[in-house]
Structure 1
Amino acid sequence: MKQTTTGHIKEINGPIVTIHLPGVSASEQVRVGKLKLYGEVIALQGDEATVQVYESTEMVRPGEPAERLGQPLSVELGPGLIGSIFDGVQRPLEKIFLQAGDMIPRGISPPALDRERCWRFTPEKNLESNNLISGGTRLGSVQESETVEHRILVPPEVSGKLIEIAPEGEYTLEETIARLRTESGEIKHLKLYHRWPVRRPRPYTQRLHGSEPLITGQRILDTFFPLLKGGKGAVPGPFGAGKTVVQQQIARWSNADIVIYVGCGERGNELVDVLDSFPKLQDPYSGRPLMERTLLVANTSNMPVVAREASIYVGITIAEYYRDMGYDVVLLADSTSRWAEALREVAGRLAQMPVEEGYPAYLASRLAAFYERAGQVETADCGQGSVTLIGTVSPPGGDFSEPVTSHTKEIIQTFWALSKELADARHYPAIDWVDSFSADVGVAAEWWHREVDRGWQKRRAQALAILARDAELSRIVNLVGPEALSSAQRWVLEGASLIKDGVLQQSALDPVDTFCSPKKQFLLLELILSVYDQGAELIELGVPVEELREMPVLSRLRRCKALYDSQQIDELMAFRQQALEAFSAIRSEYAQREKSAP
């Protein structure tokens, strides 16, 4: 048993409690009050500690006991994480529901991982007694789900000579599966799980440069604004612009091994929808339930504000744990604005000096430290792993100049800006191609050129140029009408419309178009731009733009995305040939007219 030191509560200010507790350390976990509410020390002055409590402090009184636990806020890392739903401090919500019903009673804290369940452990064949092992060394594996093999690793900062390792068999989390002797002679008993402080990044051997894009199946993300595995991305947008749907599409369709969804301070009805829909979704890559490679951290806006601040650290620590096993992990944080608001509230209760819009002065550094925990790394024993971090931002009124959005924009590599105007026009996903950007295009181009087609970067640049020209011409049309434009300029507007309808728009509810493979993405873009090029040449020959607009092939072109799935590449290429032949027929017709003209 850990030795504990007791003290008492001196003052209560919402979730901020001042306690007298000799010997307590900064960032140490404590229990306060008769209800034994968990909290974390955030400031020290002599024997007095300021504690942020993860639950409501109503009816807690000064003078009630306080107890130190001897460890910082930590998470349990081991088999049983996948498929689970936790709250912001890793309490298992399903287990709490079975014990206490719909409402979470204060002070309840069941273990995050099931202590009674047995897991079949298979040791590594090359491990023998007296082998030197260190943090990250693979001891064996457990089949956590049909999709995920859970690799049991020596905890970080533990090293020594292996004394013995357990044979293959069934073990609970509390049973010893290996023993080692440290340099100091201490005997360490290793189990299937260990604990790790959430605010301390897990160590790795070496940070690597990302080289492969995260494929989400969403054309505007993959083709126009790619994000590398191990990269940092943000999805800012006002209320109703579709941030949650974008994240759910990424969670379902991205080619990551593990998906972690952190609902941080979002509305309860949205999180209920996530918690209800995810267990029913099918993994498109394995055909198995999606929850077999997913875990959820749920902290709604009506839950204690301090637990909201902790929730994203819980999520990123679990993500780093699976990264250390050699997996590619995607962490979706929805939303970092609510997390920042929790920082602001706690800072206000601590009477810290506010800066921009009341946020604390350390907002930018906290955001940067969080996003810097993403990356692709070389692990001690499992090759390479990555954590791709995608956070949503909810700027009030869609103002991207507010502090959380502006600081995030300086930190991340890929910015998927959502537009309320596009959402109101029923253009989904409502990602604004003018305000969005990606710093990973050059690296992603190498992958696209190698795996799909060498024309990817050129065609992408051409499409963005047409869209930019469309924005300029649309302003002229709004002022003086389309009659002021030349035929060539009106064809630019038509080409941009084809790109918007045929490539950028993508319905999450369409069974065919909800996912688009990289090959199909490029073919759709190539098809539309080839038609645009053919039309531009015909206009130079004098063909009226109205005649081109009335071609039946254009309406079918807009619907190709939903007519052909990602497996029907040959059919899509056949339609491309038909479209080009239709334009060649017009060319031949006009050439014939010119010959017959007097």
Structure 2
Amino acid sequence: MGRVVRVSGPVVEVAVEEGEKPFLFEVAQVGGLKLMGEVVSITKDRAVVQVYERTEGLKVGERVFFTGRMLSVTLAPGILGMILDGLGRVLSSSGERIERGRGKKFFPEGEFEFVPQVKVGDEVNAGQLVGFVEFKGFKYKILSPVDGTVARVKEGKVSAEEPVVKVGETDVFIFEERAVRIPSRFGKRVEVSEPLFTGQRIVDFLFPVAKGGAASIPGGFGTGKTVLQQTLAKWCNADVIVYIGCGERGNEMTEILKEFPKLKDPYTGKPLMNRTVLIANTSDMPVSARESSIYLGITIAEYFKDMGYSVAVMADSTSRWAEAMREISGRMGELPIEEGFPASLSSKIASIYERAGAFKTADGNGSITIIGAVSPPGGDFSEPVTRHTKRFTGTFWALDRELASARFYPAINPFNSYSRYAEFVKDWWNRFGDYGALRRWMVETLQEGERLEKLVRLLGRESLPEDQKLKYEEFNVIREAFLRQNAFDPVDCYSSPKKQIFMAEVLKTLSEWWRKVFEERGVPVDRIVSQPIVSEVLKMKMEVSEDELEKLEELKKKIEEVYGEFLR
């Protein structure tokens, strides 16, 4: 126990009573309203508490109780489909505010059908499956927290309060409590090999992120970070989605809370919320809760990863999270570094992205893919949060304001973006075609096109020699026919792996015939690119559905026929 001696926004200094020994990151209840906080600094007779709720009206001398536990979340059947705040308290779909010192944390209610997978006398290891509960079409796997011998097993209807299995002297329940700051201890890391497939061509084909990888989406205001993350959440092939709105504007978060429950899962036809957890922390909520919201989301993701599921975590945005750390560290009197951020900024960012990975678990392979949006002020990618984030993420999708203003979606600039996972996922892609060769050709063409585009902007297209003009047209057709996508078109909003490979093959065939006609017959570039077949190529993304991919093979043959006439 202790008493408040100083209040500075969310930072409260507490005089600790003699004999009381709080520990770092212990949860504290502050004042008469029992505001939730966390111990972030300790001296001999003082503790600094970071309060996660508004501190207006808090007085010097009010009591502070130390709970003896760390900030934790209850993980159990039924958590999918929930909307939580940054502390794990249940929110309504309307985003109704929780009063200070109140709010109900998620806990499973009612009875569940437990199906055991072990029997008395079996030897089990920590993290091993002992049974499962199927709830709303999702199989929640119950794992043993310890090594030992199964002493008791219950089957049938159970409530959360009664143990379902006893391993040694430890009772196992259908729920578990996990401290949000402590990474999961289950699973051994393995090499990533499968992409997190999203149906967005520039993401999947050019700059893929692997299941178990980490990606960042930097971009200034209005470049489409939130829209892109929502699109990835809807179309990605992860088993579970955790969407974290960290310090986002209230109107954007309200739109997400209203729209997500209405979305259909494209893979099952059921509501997308059946495999989603939403965490809402808007910009007008206490800044200290932003930090906990990121840790909370990743802890939920680890719960499902340990079961052997693939999980995609969308964090929007980590810049707001870093800004909250800057404000709190300033109030605590910590020495700032560049742009006022705390010296721990780099290690804090690393602690988040390092929890991503692919793991061999006791019941299969699980993975956590973390995709964090970054909002650099003025679109400056050299600012500290963006720069440090690049160090710890393998994929970098740089959003461009000019592309966004031109209604180009996704507004990812292919010249500033990169992926370190292309080689890791190559074997997965090669099942559908020669991915390595097609991607290499496309990247080289885009790089050459970038150089030529600078000349065109300066001097005009007609200033280019004919051979460079041809390369510039190849660049343009790739950008318009492949990289640009319409999120509202029922056909173009999603492209399967096979369709992406076929489209790339069509574009490469077109490029090869253009070059052949130009080099062997010297036909003017304007005449080559003005053939009606080019218009068909540009429209293929919207006119060829997933059930009609043979039309893309026909389009390749038609290209050969049209340009073959020039060589006769």
Scaled by the length of structure 1, the TM-score of the pair is 0.92
Which residue does the alignment assign to 2:286? 304
Paired residue secondary structure (1:235): strand
Residue 422 (structure 2) aligns with: 441
Go from structure 1 to structure 2 and tell me whether the alpha carbon gap of 1:428 and 1:9 turns closer, same or farther (over 3 Å shift).
Answer: same
Q: Distance in 2 between matches of 1:79 and 1:29?
A: 25
Q: How does 1:429-468 map to 2 (within 5 A)?
A: 429-449=410-430, 451-453=431-433, 455-468=434-447
- The residue aligned with 2:158 is 171
1:121 matches 2:114? yes
Match of 1:513 among 492, 513, 517: 492
Match of 1:528 in 2: 507
Q: Which among 455, 464, 469 is matched to residue 448 of structure 2?
A: 469
* 1:252 positional shift: 0.7
2:13 paired with 1:8: no
Shift of residue 564 of structure 1? 0.9
Superposed CA offset, 1:14-47 (max 9, x none): 1011123322111111111100111110011123
Distance 1:102 1:377 in 2: 38
Q: Among residues 141, 150, 160, which one is paired with 1:162 in the alignment?
A: 150
What residue is the counterpart of 1:106 in the other structure? 100
Q: Which residue of 2 aligns with 1:548?
A: 528
Counterpart in the other structure of 1:184:
none
- AA paired with 1:212? E
Give the superposition deviation at 1:575. 2.0
SS in 2 for 1:299: strand
Which residue identity is paired with 1:558? L
1:217 and 1:254 in contact (8 A); partners too: yes
2:566 corresponds to: 586
Q: 1:591 is matched with which residue?
A: none
Counterpart AA for 1:514: C
Aligned to 1:417: 398
Partner residue in 1 for 2:306: 324
| Alignment partner of 1:370 is 2:370 | no
Task: Name the structure 2 match of 1:576.
Answer: 556
Deviation at 1:165, TM superposition (A): 1.2
CA distance in 2, matches of 1:566, 1:587: 34
Which stretch shows the higher mean deviation, 137-146 or 332-341? 137-146
Q: Determine helix, strand or coil for the equivalent of 1:93.
A: coil
Quick one: distance in 2 between partners of 1:161 and 1:63?
Answer: 51
Deviation at 1:550, TM superposition (A): 1.7
Cα displacement (A) at 1:161 = 2.8
SS at match of 2:424: helix
What is the distance in 1 between the residues matched to 2:322 and 2:293? 12
Q: Distance in 1 between matches of 2:508 and 2:38?
A: 57
SS at match of 2:564: helix
Alpha carbons 1:24, 1:47 under 8 Å: kept: no
Task: Map 1:252-401 to 2 at 5 A.
Answer: 252-379=234-361, 381-401=362-382
The one-character-per-residue Cα deviations of 1:130-186 (angstroms, maximum 9, x if unpaired) are 33334212121111222x21001123xx3333220111x2222112212233xxxxx
Alpha-carbon distance, 1:62 to partner: 1.4
Does 2:142 correspond to 1:152?
yes
**For 2:459 and 2:366, how far apart are their aligned partners in 1?**
56
Post-superposition offset of 1:497: 1.0
* 1:204-223 correspondence runs (5 A): 204-223=186-205
- 3-state secondary structure, aligned to 1:441: coil
Q: After superposition, what is the alpha-carbon deviation per residue over 1:486-528, rounded to whole angstroms, capped at 9, x for unaligned?
A: 2221111111111011000011111111110011011111101
Contact 2:152 2:165 (8 Å CA) reproduced: yes
* Corresponding residue number in structure 2 for 1:194: 176
AA aligned to 1:482 is R
Length-normalised TM-score, structure 2: 0.97
Counterpart of 1:251 (choices 209, 223, 233) is 233
State how many pairs are aligned: 564
SS across alignment from 1:246: helix
Equivalent position of 1:87 in the other structure: 85
- C-alpha displacement at 1:461, in angstroms? 1.4
Contact 2:509–2:559 (CA under 8 A) maintained in structure 1 = no
Does 6-15 or 38-47 show the bigger shift?
Answer: 6-15
- Report the Cα distance in structure 1 between the residues aligned to 2:290 and 2:186, rounded to whole angstroms: 27
Equivalent-residue separation in structure 1 for 2:6 and 2:393 (angstroms): 40
Partner of 1:24 in structure 2? 22
**Percent identical:** 43
Distance in 2 (CA, whole Å) between partners of 1:549 and 1:137 is 61
What's the CA shift for 1:269?
A: 1.0
User: For the Cα contact (< 8 Å) 1:82–1:145, is it kept in 2?
Assistant: no
Deviation per CA, 1:423-447, whole angstroms, max 9, x where unpaired? 1111110001001001111122122
Kindly indicate whether the alpha-carbon contact (under 8 Å) linking 1:377 and 1:386 is maintained by their aligned counterparts in 2: yes
Give the aligned partner of residue 3 of structure 1.
none
Please, which of 96, 118, 123 is the counterpart of residue 132 of structure 1?
123
SS in 2 for 1:365: helix
Q: Secondary structure at the match of 2:528?
A: helix
Q: Distance in 2 between matches of 1:199 and 1:463?
A: 42
Q: Does structure 2 conserve the Cα–Cα contact (< 8 Å) formed by 1:82 and 1:144?
A: no
Shift of 1:475: 2.1
CA distance in 2, matches of 1:535, 1:201: 55
Q: Which deviates the most, 359-368 or 537-546?
A: 537-546
Q: 1:550 to 1:180 in 2, by over 3 A?
A: closer
**Following the alignment from structure 2 to structure 1, what is the Cα–Cα distance between the partners of residues 143 and 45?**
38
C-alpha distance in structure 2 between counterparts of 1:195 and 1:492, whole Å: 59
Q: Match of 1:118, as an amino acid?
A: E
Determine whether 1:481 maps to 2:481.
no
> Residues 301 and 311 of structure 2 are in contact (CA less than 8 Å); yes or no, is this contact kept in structure 1?
yes
Give the match for residue 388 of structure 2.
407
- Give yes or no for contact 2:6–2:13 (8 Å, CA) kept in 1: yes
Moved more, 522-531 or 187-196: 187-196
What is the one-letter code of the residue matched to 2:163?
T
CA RMSD of aligned residues (A): 1.4
Whole-Å separation in 1 of the counterparts to 2:286 and 2:458? 52
The match for 2:49 among 48, 51, 58 is 51
**Superposition deviation, residue 476 in structure 1:** 2.1
1:78-130 C-alpha deviation (Å, 9 max, x unpaired)? 111100000001001029x7xxx93321011313123x322111111xx2223
Deviations 1:266-308 (A, max 9, x none): 1111111111111111111111111111111111111110110
1:549, CA displacement in angstroms? 2.1
- Corresponding position: 1:239 with 2:221: yes
Please say if 1:561 is aligned against 2:561. Answer: no
Q: What are structure 1's unaligned runs of at least 5 residues?
A: 1-5, 182-186, 589-598
**What residue identity is the alignment partner of 1:175?**
E
Whether the 8 Å contact between 1:91 and 1:109 is mirrored in structure 2 is: yes
Q: CA shift at 1:464, angstroms?
A: 1.6
Structure 2: distance between partners of 1:49 and 1:161: 43
